[in-house]
Amino acid sequence: MRFIKMHGIGNDYVYVNGFAHPVADPAEVARKISDRHFGVGGDGLILVAPADEEGRRGGAIVRMRMFNADGSEAEMCGNGVRCVCKFAYDHNVAPGVREQNPLLVQTGRGVLRLAYELDSAGKVSLVTVDMGEPILAPAEIPVRLPDLSRVVNHPMHGLFTWPAGYGEWGHGAGLDPRMTCISMGNPHAVFFVQDVQAVPLEAVGPIIEKHNLFPRRINVHVVQVARGSEMIMRTWERGSGITLACGTGAAAVCVAGVLTGRSERKVLIHLPGGDLTLEWRASDGHVHMTGPATEVFQGDWPEG
């Protein structure tokens, strides 16, 4: 099975051309191929496949299916979908792909629009993704409504106080115990702190991810505000652990910054793997994310 290793600012995945090579058991392949010691290594597996009937009705030729390193299927990945755009264009996976700009890609969040720029070699280098509108209603994120008696439900949708007794980890980091819960097609919990490096993310990430407040688990982000137009974040990704970047998470952080009065609508976000520009546009309520997509190498994975 031919694969291509790609990354969006360090958020790395193994990509397979599903047009040419359908994968029978992608969850099992994801677990094996993502292993950084015995496999190719990555945060998961992404299939660049033909759009189904629903996707084609939305104008998409390409469909993205994403599987985390633990084999669980996720709805969306902002860094991953930028690389899907690069994969589809650079390798011309299907007729008509190179005629679309913005490229329409079917995801678990629906059909997204990806505007791209080419470098001097005619390859995709920079991609802007229309991530759509953030989802703030607790039941749709989802956050368990019966459990909200344990938190303070603020008038602002999506903003809750983390249950008492779970905030000790943030004492040295200057934690604001209020978390902002947002879905960008996949669920996110954002915590603002004074020092992101002081957070023991490897310890608290899995606890929050699997807390019973979150029926589909959750991605966890700690964020430090540098100024109104600039923030620093670290991420524990659901199903993958600590990652160098999370595009949908950066979109959620942008929205959380605006909702809590900490940031402007357009921000530069520094992640361990690099920088992303996010804008929550007042004109249509959509979040737009701009960042690079990089191909690392190609190879063959033994089947069976």
Residues labelled as active-site residues? 77, 246
CA distance 217 to 167: 18
Residue 84, both tokens = 């899907």
* Torsion sign, CA atoms 284, 286, 290, 293: negative
Of 278, 273, 271, nearest in space to 257 by CA: 278
At residue 154's C-alpha, the angle toward residues 151 and 160, to 5°, is 40
CA 261 → CA 72, 175, 208, 214, 255, distances in Å?
A: 35, 16, 24, 25, 10
Output phi, psi for 143, to 5 deg.
-120, 135
CA 2 from centre of chain? 25
C-beta of residue 238 within 8 angstroms of C-beta of residue 222: no
